[in-house]
Amino acid sequence: MSIFRRDRRVTGRVTVQEAAARTGHGSAAEGGADAVLLDVREPNEWQAGHAPRAVHLPLSALATGAGLPAGAQAGPFVVICRSGNRSRQVADLLAARGAEAVDVIGGMRDWAAAGLPVVDSRGGNGIVA
């Protein structure tokens, strides 16, 4: 069963474990990645710590008309922020544009608490800011 809803006007929500499985992170990645992990936090938050292979596009940039990076346009998208508020907004926005998108309940805080990988802008151990 897909975690992505067929009705694109209503976005779904997933746990960090489901997000990790769909994006190929951590031990939950056994089924393989079929979604793009889209991190919508601001640059300073991203630099402090993010999931490896995530795509960065801050909500503030998306709200002012920025498009998705070339490598991430196909989706589907698992959208993450610090706690789940901004990611919900972006998932709704992407769904309104016709994309398949879900947001991550608890965001990067729950991601890190679950022991999933977090790296900083230099590839070292990151923190959730």
| Structural domain spans, the chain | 12-113
- CB neighbours (10 Å) of residue 94? 23
Q: Which residues are part of the catalytic machinery?
A: 81
pLDDT of res. 103: 96
Residues of the chain falling short of pLDDT 50: 1-9, 28-29
Q: In the structure encoding, which two tokens stand for residue 23, read together?
A: 């994006």
pTM of structure: 0.87
Query: Does residue 74 sit in helix, strand or coil?
Result: coil
Query: Which pLDDT score, from 0 to 100, does residue 42 have?
Result: 97
As a whole number of Å, the CA-based R_g of the chain is: 13
Tell me the fold of 12-113.
Oxidized Rhodanese; domain 1 (3.40.250)
Q: Which two tokens stand for residue 22?
A: 């769909």
Question: What integer pLDDT is reported at residue 79 of this predicted model?
Answer: 97
Say how far apart CA 25 and CA 61 lie, in whole Å. Answer: 26
Q: How far apart are CA 66 and CA 28, in angstroms?
A: 32
